[in-house]
Amino acid sequence: MSWQVIVATTILLGGFFIFAIGAAVRAHLRKPTTGKEGMLGMKGKAVEALSEDARGEISIAGELWRARSRQGNIASGEKVEVVAMEGLTLVVQPLPEEQHQ
């Protein structure tokens, strides 16, 4: 075998392994996008009025979820952020005015 083939093969394999290891590290460091961990911090909009005692619906990423307020009342149409989950019910708090987008 010629030395050019050996050098070319070594460079190609080295590049492949660097790419594969980099992709594995990025996947490992990525924030979960499913399950409870993926919901925390997501922002949405109240479809129905919510309170600590009265559950209502909120819309997040085009999906409707049952939710309750962490503290106080939240009016329909108000922007909210998910702070916890209780089973399949989201616990939300209103977004401060400067975070409304």
Give the pLDDT confidence of 77-89 residue by residue, as tens digits: 999 999 999 988 9
Residues 6 or more apart whose Cβ sits within 8 Å of residue 27: none
The angle subtended at Cα 19 by Cα 13 and Cα 23, nearest 5°, is: 145
Position 101 pLDDT exceeds 60: no
Q: What's the sign of the alpha-carbon dihedral 74, 77, 78, 83? A: positive
For residue 68, the SS3 value is strand
Domain 35-99 has CATH 2.40.50.140: yes
Domain ranges of the chain: 1-30, 35-99
- What's the pTM? 0.63
